[in-house]
Amino acid sequence: GAGVSQSPSNKVTEKGKDVELRCDPISGHTALYWYRQRLGQGLEFLIYFQGNSAPDKSGLPSDRFSAERTGESVSTLTIQRTQQEDSAVYLCASSPVGQGLAEQFFGPGTRLTVL
Amino acid sequence: AQSVTQLDSQVPVFEEAPVELRCNYSSSVSVYLFWYVQYPNQGLQLLLKYLSGSTLVKGINGFEAEFNKSQTSFHLRKPSVHISDTAEYFCAVSSSSNTGKLIFGQGTTLQVKP
C-alpha cells in the first residue's frame, strides 16, 4: 500500500547544472502528473502522462524542462542549465485514470534550490 | 481557459470558531472542483470533491463545501476548528474536457490559535 514516492527529497544545485528528479507512482495508476510549487504560490501544472499516449507537455515553462515515463512506471523530470527561478518544490501525482473526476494522489515533493 | 482564485491568503481564527475559506473559479466548460490540504511538512491530501449531484459535499475532518454555479464559487467551511486544522488549503478545478490536470488557486493558510 505504498503511496507516491519522490527522490531526492531535497536538492541543492548550482546555477547552470542539470538536475534529475524521480517519481514512483502508485502501482496500477496509469496517469502521472508533475506540478511545480513556487514559494507562496499555488501549484502549476507541468506535464501529464497517460499510459503509452503522447504526453501533454503544455505546462512546461521552457525547453530546458523535459520528462520521461516508461510505460506506467517511474517518471523522471529533467531540468537542464538550471536557473534561480527554477527553485521550487516539484510535486508528482498519480491517478488510476487520466480523467478530470479522478482523485490525484500526491507525493511528498522534491525541494529544489538553485544557488 | 480555467482559473481559480482564493480570496484570502491567510485566515487566522481561534480554536472552536467557525471558518470559511473562499474559492471562486472561471471556466467555459463544466468543471469538477476539489479542495486539497497540505499539513506542515506533509504532502497534499484530498479533503473533498464535487463531481455532480448534490451541491453540498462533505469531506474528511468535518469539512464541507458548497458548489454555487451561479456565483462560480466553491467555499470551504467548518463549524468548529481545531488546532490540528492549521495547514495550507488549496482549491482546484479540472474538467471533463481535459486530461485531469488540476488548475490550483494560490492557497489559503489557515492559522488556528488557542
**B96 to chain A: closest CA residue:** A100
Domain count, chain B: 1
CB contact under 8 A, B96 and A99: yes
Chain B: residue nearest A90 by CA?
B43
From B6's Cα to the closest Cα of chain A, the distance in A is: 10
pLDDT 10s digits, A60-79: 999 999 999 988 889 999 99
The stretch A87-105 carries a mean pLDDT of 88
Structural domain that includes position B33: 3-113
CATH code for the domain of B83: 2.60.40.10
If contacts are CB pairs under 8 Å, which of residues 18-47 in chain B contact chain A?
Answer: 31-32, 34, 36, 42-46
Contact (Cβ atoms closer than 8 angstroms) between residue B81 and residue B16:
yes
Write down the residue that cell numbers 524542462 correspond to: A65
Determine the distance in angstroms separating the CA of B101 from the nearest CA of chain A, rounded to an integer.
7
Query: What percentage of residues in chain B have a pLDDT greater than 90?
Result: 79
A104 touches chain B (CB under 8 A): yes
| Contact call for residues B24 and B5 (beta carbons, < 8 A) | yes
Q: Which CATH superfamily is domain A5-98 in?
A: Immunoglobulins (2.60.40.10)
How high is the pLDDT of residue A1?
55
Cα separation, A69 vs A72, in Å, equals 7
* Backbone CA torsion sign across A48, A106, B98, B108: negative
pLDDT digits (tens, 9 = 90+) for B53-82: 889 999 999 999 999 999 999 999 999 999
| Whole-number Å distance between alpha carbons of A7 and A12 | 13
